[in-house]
Structure 1
Amino acid sequence: MPGARTDELARLAELHGVAVSYRPAPDRTVTVPDSAVVAALHALGVDATTPEAVRAALADRERALRERLLPPTVVHWAGDPHDPAALTALPPGTRVRVETEEGEESYRMSAPLVAGLPLGVHRVTATAPDGRTAHARLVVAPDRLPAPPGRSYGLLVQLYSLLSRRSWGMGDLGDLAELAGWAGRVAGAGFVQVNPLHSAVPGAPTDPSPYRPSSRRFPDPVHLRVEDVPEYAYAEDRERLAGLLERAARLRAAVLDKGALIDRDAVWELKREALETVLAVPLGPGRRAAYDAFRAAHGQALDDHATYYALAEMHGPDWTTWPDGLRDPRSAATARARAELADRVAFHTRLAWLTDGQLRAAQRTAREAGMPVGIVHDLAVGVHPAGADSWAQQDVFAAGMSVGAPPDAFNARGQDWGLPPWRPDRLAACGYAPFRELLRALFRYAGALRIDHVMGLFRLWWIPQGSPPTEGTYVHYDAEAMLAVLALEAGRAGSVVIGEDLGTVEPGVRETLQRRGVLGTSVLWFERDWTGDGRPLPPERWRADCLATATTHDLPPTAARLTGDHVELRDRLGLLTRPAAEERAEAVADAAEWLALLGGLGLVDSVGPADSLGPVGGTATGPPGTDEEAQVRAVHRFLLRTPARLIGVWLPDGVGDRRPQNLPGTWAEYPNWRLPIADREGRAVPLEELTAALRLRALLEVFAQLRQG
């Protein structure tokens, strides 16, 4: 909108949760462009393109808020004896009818109106004495999310990178179960955390990033261990399967023995062909009953998911380019296509069920191995704009907008993640049903859930299509409602929740998350006394309610950080923003400060490997008595000294891997999301050797006092 920002536009934006400014630091306020405010309002269905439109929209919004009896979603925390403010504000004499999730009805006119209601998402109808009626969802949630059962440590790994001599060229759910069984029984670990296993956008080449999926609701069948599907044993075309196994062995050998990158598309081509044969085997009565129960549990969402993949086989993966009728999941044309493609829809439905089953089996294996938490799954912040979820749930996504991050100390140009955001108004209007269903699906097989960019429960940086990330604005969500739904579903599943709260965080967010029981994430290199002298934060000053780690998938492995190899990598790729000598000097000084603290605490040693993890078999990756390895162990001893409830060990640190799995700011320059776990020389290490590696065993011995069982 041309001209200076008006008070009316600022007020209209405020009433719709759209920011007109933000504070990247306590002493700095940044005003966002009017164009971003107008675009965000447009994506929320509000016309703010002219002063006249702004005045009309503002009058409509103020009148609607003034006249409404209830907001679309109301939250009540079970431990609060008082009614929520939205209910106490009802006019005297208002009659309230509550229908619970179980279908029971009751009528209430006196406070507390919520007394005796069970946990759940209930329907409320309020009828005022003047005849006005309002309908709302009432979320009754436990006060706090489940806490971790005691203190424990665990392994952090990108599943695709965890190849065994049985997998088909990338790590799979059979490998995950093997790792969990070993880590729980032999190493006493309490959990294994993996990357998002959401469904990828189909087609080749597909986006290898697990953080830009087609669907977050259903897992990707590329992770299936084909031979573990019960019907595999009864498939008739054994010659075809034998040929596929031979091709898979060559693909696996190329990665493990010849230094090739992981080729997800090639893996899926083989598995898809094998699964076509396996799924031709009829299900037995027990398996059929389980499959039918899965279909009934997931209903329309599963049908839409499978239909999208069936249509993508015919028309390509980008639904925005499909014939007009098929772009609408509820159109008559889509209904006809669904019927015509019934066999393909059934195929993709079966794949979702099989993958869900192997995910639940991995969690059972972890728990049976003594892990109190088990598998920690990762929830990406959003989905691909051309994928299954954005097609099936178009009504709750903000058209023409993308999620990202504003400029900060790490990226002066900001970031555009290419993910369409949910509309907060539409989420509230449907009682957060898409979020509830997403969480419920993930908690079926998650002992804990990591939420990427957990600050997105409070606000997201919306970028208008075609604009740079610098020209976006924050749009706020009802964080109380989002947290209440999260607490409700996590409580029902008995699952822990970990929030990735790194980077710039709005004041009060971490405190709110902690109060509700969401654990934070603390990474060693970022834990400094930022309000004081900037020195490394001593262990006793770390927060307790967190997952403490030395690194993440987006950061250099610990050995690379200690040796400065990460600077050399960025220099080779031309990613440095300052002279290489300055970057090296800063990296050396940073590592030296931490090593000085570790040495002062008496945490550094040069002792050889302990053998209390049991006999060592297979091929070890070398003796762990070098200074570098002693320093890596010292870093983890430091983490053990903190009060953190959970401690994560980046699995590649156990064999000296130098390479980050993802190098932000690169695409073709670096093989993001395609690297197998490797030793310090870059040689791929299969799961069988990994679990026998002396260096890994010595590292995990640091946590002997936290062993489970």
Structure 2
Amino acid sequence: MTDSNAASDIPDERLKQLAEAHGVSTEYWDYHGNLAAPSRTTLVAVLAALGVKAGDSQEVEESLREVDIAPWRRTLPPTVVVRAGTQSTIPAHLPDGAHVRMHVDLEKGDTLQLLQADDWTAPREVDGVLTGQASFVIPDDLPLGWHTIIADVDAGPDRGTYSASAVLAVTPDHLDLPASLGGRGWGIMAQLYSVRSRGSWGIGDADDLTELLGFLGDEGADFLLINPMHAAEPVGEMTPSPYLPVTRRFVNPIYIRPENILEVSRLSGPRRSLVQWAHEEVTDANLSADAIDRDTAWKAKREALEVIFAAGRSRSRQRDFERFRAAQGVGLERFALWCALMEKYGSFADWPENLKDASSAFVANEARTLKDRIDFYAWLQWIVDEQLGRAQAQAKASGMSLGLMDDLAVGVHPQGADVWAEPDAFASGVGVGAPPDMYNQLGQNWSQPPWDPNRLAETAYAPLREMVGTVLRHAGALRIDHVIGLFRLWWIPDGLRADQGAYVRYDHEAMIGVVLLEAHRAGAVIIGEDLGTVEPWAREYLASRGVLGTSVLWFEKDEDGWPLEPGAYRHLALSTVNTHDLPPTAGYLADEHVTLRERLGLLTEPIEQVRTEARIERERMLTRLREHNLLGDNPSERETVEALYRYVVRTPSALVGVSLVDGVGERRAQNQPGTDKEYPNWKMPLADGSGEVVLVEDLPDNVRLASLLGAVRDEFRC
């Protein structure tokens, strides 16, 4: 691979012009504040992933001509996304001199004729046909929703008449916080898989979630933010990271509590014994602080679920199941088929080549053969959906204004169900990651294929729309991990290092608009994780649309490097002391994040320098706490942690998140970015500072947790 520092690998102006025309940034500001630029090698590879040829100067010139003429080859753009309350226009391209009428078929059945606007754009020749442009006004009073624009063209006696259509999405201009929140609120942040009870199957599940939500509602919390519950591999070794799922639309059935399925009460004695015996295989794990074994837990649950599924359902329950399948549509059927094929053939890499194309006749034949197994995997989604629905109902009944706050991962596994079912939606030959920053000095490659921005528009943003709509079925809020991915993503060509990528821009106006429309329909709040390298205008834009940002105490600093004063925090933000990518606060105060990164070889600066910087950061924070009379001399660890949370509550932030691990004194990190097998990421069960397991039923009597929650409530009352 060409050295990106060599003079021969510097892109010329025409290549940069082509890259910018396709949304590939040719320069960016790094985390040191320096202007950086991708190499020629990177730009050519990223353009290739977008389907654009740029290997030599001739290809660059041909591609530049194509990008200029492409919009004129279409009568209408594939998708138009507008804001409610804002008048806009839509262009139509048609043979010069042709007549055109345009109307909108509204989602609820009405039809509205559009008025033509003045458009003096000169005609141009397109593939031998002189083509003109006409524009029509989209009024500002259209209702929110998904509509269809129809253009009826009369091109004269030689060319005849024809129609063209485009999808029109009318989205909210701004998403308001719900009145039930009362302006501000607080909640708990937890990794659901880590929060277990004595009745768990070795891993936290929907029943534990229901109990936790009920407890937190009684404590006055407004929400519970949990890790993404996206589905993982149904067979074989399950990927531990909830941020590398096989699909972001459907749920990992490992979160099902088998004995809470309605049909269990109707099982015969022998069948019920099989369920109980499967549970007994893993129940001892609930009392162990060792790393969670997802594979063992899923094996036991799957055995029980197979028994329950085989017992059948009553007629009314079967109808409920069928209605669920019909509502979830083709997406669910394809996901269930993918699971059945995984079960039959194992790892995707081992599948017969003729099955790797989801649209092939061979796959259709397998679908008929595997009908019973497809039914099983669709049933799992129905069951976990039911149990999550009960959890959210419990949250609302206990007084929580938002209830469950779900989390949306930034991408999916490259060999997962989403990529198999809709390969054209993803760019190939690249992965998504992040450039170097303060906490990941080598950059990150998340090994996830990005959505192709052009394909998203072609499909009316169906992948995004369906995903958000499904995730919000039983949630009052959604945290979008790496929300800047709706603006731009760091694409890393295969074979290059994580720091040798380039930013690819997305139509953020359309992407955010689609998310807001689905959130509006669900009555949900949207929180964007906007940490790291984010341009200030992007944060301002999100705030203008009512999307909350994310503020982490340790990252919020003024120009001199001192902790930001509480009053300087944003109002539209979820503010927290820490994040799952750092050790719990007790560990962070002890510099365990530095020790761990040194041990794993993740530092690019001398350890003495990094430790000095961490000490200065900690001392400045403690000084700031004392300035606000939140900390005395020689404080205990608990007092320091509570003072940090009191500090965050004193900000104007609309939402404040309290880490459950901080409430019980846990010190172990859930995740160390930049590692895979080097650290047991996403496997730590909830435990206290001495390494003793803390179960859901222990939480109401946990003195340290009660003290922290009391401190948070006291500050909110001030």
Q: 1:197-249 deviations in whole A, cap 9, x for unaligned?
A: 00012333221000000011100000111111111122231332221122122
**Paired residues for 1:251-330 under 5 Å:** 251-252=285-286, 256-257=287-288, 259-318=289-348, 320-330=349-359
Select which of 649, 655, 672 maps to 2:664: 655
Which amino acid counterpart does residue 376 of structure 1 have in structure 2? M
Q: 1:147 aligns with which of 169, 173, 177?
A: 177
The range that moved more, 106-115 or 199-208, is: 106-115
User: Could you say which residue in structure 2 is the equivalent of 1:192?
Assistant: 224
CA shift at 1:133, angstroms? Answer: 6.1
Deviation at 1:582?
3.7
CA distance in 2, matches of 1:440, 1:119: 15
Q: CA deviation at 1:577?
A: 4.2
Deviates more, 1:195-204 or 1:131-140: 131-140
For residues 592 and 556 of structure 1, the distance between their equivalents in structure 2, rounded to whole angstroms, comes to 18
Match of 1:233 in 2: 265
Which residue of structure 2 lines up, in the alignment, with residue 670 of structure 1?
Answer: 679
Tell whether the 8 Å contact from 1:75 to 1:84 is kept in structure 2 after alignment. Answer: no
Distance in 2 between the 1:374 and 1:564 partners? 34
Mapped to 1, the partners of 2:350 and 2:14 lie a distance apart of 39
Cα deviations across residues 263-317 of structure 1 (Å, max 9, x unaligned)?
0000000000000001112212332222111111111100000000000011113
Partner of 2:363: 334
1:321, distance to aligned residue in structure 2 (A): 3.9
Amino acid corresponding to residue 80 of structure 2 in structure 1: V
Q: Distance in 2 between matches of 1:686 and 1:88?
A: 64
| Aligned partner (choices 564, 572, 583) of residue 591 of structure 2 | 564
TM-score (norm 2): 0.90
Residue 97 of structure 1 contacts residue 126 of structure 1 at CA under 8 Å; is this kept in 2? Answer: yes
Map 1:55-94; keep pairs closer than 5 Å.
Answer: 55-66=61-72, 68-80=74-86, 82-84=87-89, 94=100
- Corresponding residue of 2:621: 594
Work out the CA distance in 2 between the residues paired with 1:323 and 1:163. Answer: 40
1:453 aligns with 2:482: yes
8 Å CA contact retained: 2:11, 2:39:
no
CA distance in 2, matches of 1:23, 1:573: 28
8 A contact 2:430–2:449 mirrored in 1:
yes
2:203 corresponds in structure 1 to 170
SS of residue paired to 2:521: helix
> Structure 1 residues 448, 55: closer, same or farther in 2, change over 3 A?
same
Q: How does 1:94-493 map to 2 (within 5 A)?
A: 94-110=100-116, 112-114=137-139, 116-127=141-152, 134-148=164-178, 149-150=181-182, 151-185=184-218, 187-236=219-268, 237-252=271-286, 256-257=287-288, 259-318=289-348, 320-493=349-522
CA deviation profile, 1:118-149 (whole Å, cap 9, x unmatched): 21122213356757965322110111124152
2:138 aligns to what SS in structure 1?
A: coil
Specify whether residues 504 and 446 from structure 1 end up closer, same or farther in structure 2 by C-alpha distance, changes over 3 A only: same
Contact 2:31 2:437 in 1 (8 A): no
- In the other structure, the counterpart of 2:132 is none
Q: Which moved more, 1:424-433 or 1:85-94?
A: 85-94
Which residue identity lines up with residue 147 of structure 1 in the other structure?
A: L
In structure 1, distance between residues paired with 2:584 and 2:9: 50
Q: Unaligned regions of 5+ residues in structure 2, if any? A: 3-7, 118-136, 157-161
Query: What per-residue deviation string (whole Å, max 9, x for no partner) do you get for residues 379-422 of structure 1?
Result: 00000001111111111011111101123333333211000000
Cα distance in 1, alignment partners of residues 489 and 94 from structure 2? 30
Q: Quick one: distance in 1 between partners of 2:670 and 2:604? A: 21
Matched, 1:544 2:571: yes
Deviation of the 1:375 alpha carbon = 0.4
Structure 1 pair 122/487, CA: closer, same or farther in 2 (3 Å)?
same
What is the Cα deviation at residue 37 of structure 1? 1.7
Question: 1:560: Cα distance to partner?
Answer: 1.4
Give the deviation of 1:578 after TM superposition: 4.3
Determine if contact 1:604/1:633 at 8 Å carries over to the other structure: no
Give 2:207's aligned amino acid.
G
Counterpart Cα distance in 2 of 1:453 and 1:277: 40
SS in 2 for 1:106: strand
* Whole-angstrom CA distance in 2 between matches of 1:480 and 1:27: 26
- The answer to whether 1:527 aligns with 2:559 is no
1:680 matches 2:686: no
- Stretch moving more, 674-683 or 280-289: 280-289
Tell me if 1:694 matches 2:700: no
Q: Higher mean Cα deviation, 129-138 or 199-208?
A: 129-138
The more displaced of 27-36 and 691-700 is 27-36
Q: Cα gap change, 1:31/1:129 in structure 2, threshold over 3 Å: closer, same or farther?
A: farther
AA paired with 2:221?
A
Of the three residues 610, 617, 638, the one matched with 1:629 is 638
What is the RMSD of the two structures over their aligned residues, measured on CA atoms?
2.4
Aligned residue number for residue 611 of structure 1? none
State the TM-score, normalized to the length of structure 1: 0.91
Q: Partners of 1:706 and 1:121 in 2: how far apart?
A: 43
**Shift of residue 84 of structure 1?**
3.9
Q: Aligned partners of 2:421 and 2:107: how far apart in 1?
A: 25
Aligned AA (2:186): Y
Q: In structure 2, what is the Cα distance between the partners aligned to 1:628 and 1:45?
A: 55
What residue in structure 1 maps to residue 134 of structure 2? none
Give aligned-pair identity as a percent: 46
CA displacement, residues 473-519 of structure 1 (integer Å, 9 cap, x when unaligned) = 11111000001101110000000000000000024110110000110
**Residues paired across the two proteins, number:** 681
Q: Distance in 2 between the 1:116 and 1:549 partners? A: 39
CA contact (8 A) 2:556 2:564 kept: yes
Q: Per the alignment, in what secondary structure is the counterpart of residue 401 of structure 2?
A: coil
In the other structure, the counterpart of 2:121 is none
Q: Distance in 2 between matches of 1:557 and 1:89?
A: 61
Distance 2:587 2:15 in 1: 50
User: Does structure 1 retain, via aligned residues, the 8 Å contact 2:440–2:602?
Assistant: no
